[in-house]
Amino acid sequence: MHTLLVVDDDPDVLSTLTRSFRKGYKTLSAPGGAEAITILNEQPVDLIICDQRMPNIGGVEVLSHALKVQPEAIRILLTGYTDVDSLLACVNDAHIYKYVTKPWDPEELNLTVVRALESLDLKRDLDEARGLLESAYKDAVVMLCLAAEGKDQDTSSHLHRVQNYTEALAMAMGVDEKEAVHMGVMSMLHDIGKLATPDAILKKPGKLTDEEWVIMREHPMAGVRILGDNPFYELAREVSAGHHENFDGTGYPNKLRGEDIPLSARIVKLADVFDALTTKRPYKEPWSIEAALENIETFSGSMFDPAIVKQFKQLYFDGTLDHIRELN
Ligand SMILES: [Fe+2]
């Protein structure tokens, strides 16, 4: 059942409104702005009908507060005036759904409430579906990467650390939060091309021969092929193709240089190398963070983008790197 909050300093109006909505809704009533704000701070409300002119705290203030604390709740303003300027201010400040002039037509108000709540339910259903899809795609990425893990020494915790370093670095480099989160998820796919690399090469205990290196170096473009042509995975293709390019143009597969290498790939390269250095592998003990950072600094400008190295060191100084390592 939906919860309505009706607010009016006129007791007659308040009881009329409360009575008219009591059937079918959980109806809360507030005789003034202060009481309304207390209710909004304490319990979830689906829709608010609020009088405009009230002593002390007016309707615009109440609905603006509602916008802050319960942005999803539908806001309807009851007004005795049709002063265009003040109504416009209210629409701007409190993002109201609709204003209703007094005296109101009860049937019309009821219909407004019904429609508003229908749109609220629809929005909630859509949000839920979107959330489900989002978690499904993230799970699918992890599943795919874990399938590839069987062929390599990467573990899910390595992938999640690379994801988190990538996300933090992307934000530090000025990428907006939503895109940075997406880049983090896509970063996990950087080595997906190793699915196409023969086990004899991937798991060879000794050094690779020149011919074997040629095959090993095919994994970035093999990843691009595996990732198909869906626009959603564009960033993952960028990362797969570019995570072995070097900033000075000596990397592979395309010997791209500087900013010709997509930002996502430059970021993931650093995140991946740092995590490989600081993690225990069958053939080596983990390096300390400081030793790994020093090593990365040595290759700033050759392997890595100096601007990204600088931001990464900042993440070390502000404790973000430690936090990520504790998380995973
Ligand atoms: Fe790789």
* Res 153 pLDDT > 60: no
Amino acid at 12: D
Q: In what order do the strands lie in the sheet with 98-101?
A: 26-30, 3-7, 47-51, 74-79, 98-101
What is the 326 CA–ligand 1 centroid distance (Å)? 24
**Maximum average pLDDT range among 19-33, 83-97, 141-155, 298-312:** 298-312
Number of Cβ within 10 Å of residue 161's Cβ equals: 22
User: Average pLDDT of the chain?
Assistant: 91
What is the 261 CA–ligand 1 centroid distance (Å)? 15
What is the 192 CA–ligand 1 centroid distance (Å)? 8
Place of tokens 């207390």: 38
Number of Cβ within 10 Å of residue 151's Cβ equals: 16
Amino acid 231: pLDDT: 86
The predicted model gives 63-85 an average pLDDT of 88
The predicted model gives 209-226 an average pLDDT of 95
Residue 176 binned pLDDT confidence (cut-offs 50, 70, 90): very high
- Tell me which long-range contacts 62-71 makes (C-beta under 8 A, separation of at least 24): 62/7, 62/33, 62/36, 62/37, 63/90, 63/93, 63/94, 63/96, 64/93, 64/94, 65/37, 65/40, 66/40, 66/94, 67/94, 67/95, 69/40, 69/41, 70/40, 70/44, 70/45
Distance separating alpha carbons of residues 328 and 317, to the nearest angstrom: 19
pTM above 0.85, yes or no: no
What is the 47 CA–ligand 1 centroid distance (Å)? 52
Domains for the chain: give ranges and CATH numbers: 3-125 (3.40.50.2300), 150-327 (1.10.3210.10)
Q: What is the dihedral of CA 142, 144, 146, 147, to 10 degrees?
A: 170
What is the 1 CA–ligand 1 centroid distance (Å)? 53
**Maximum average pLDDT range among 19-23, 131-135, 286-290, 301-305:** 301-305
Which DSSP letter does residue 43 get?
S
Instruction: Pick the closest to residue 145 from 59, 57, 239, 229 (CA basis).
Output: 239
Number of Cβ within 10 Å of residue 259's Cβ equals: 11
pLDDT digit string (tens) for 31-49? Answer: 999 999 999 999 999 999 9
What is the 243 CA–ligand 1 centroid distance (Å)? 6
Asked if the bond preceding 253 is cis, omega within 30° of 0, the reply is: yes
What is the 190 CA–ligand 1 centroid distance (Å)? 6
Q: Which of 37-46, 96-105, 241-250 shows the lowest mean pLDDT across its residues? A: 96-105
What is the 280 CA–ligand 1 centroid distance (Å)? 18
pLDDT digit string (tens) for 187-201? Answer: 999 999 998 999 889
Give the residue numbers annotated as catalytic, written as ranges: 194
> Is beta strand 98-101 parallel, antiparallel or unpaired with respect to 47-51?
unpaired
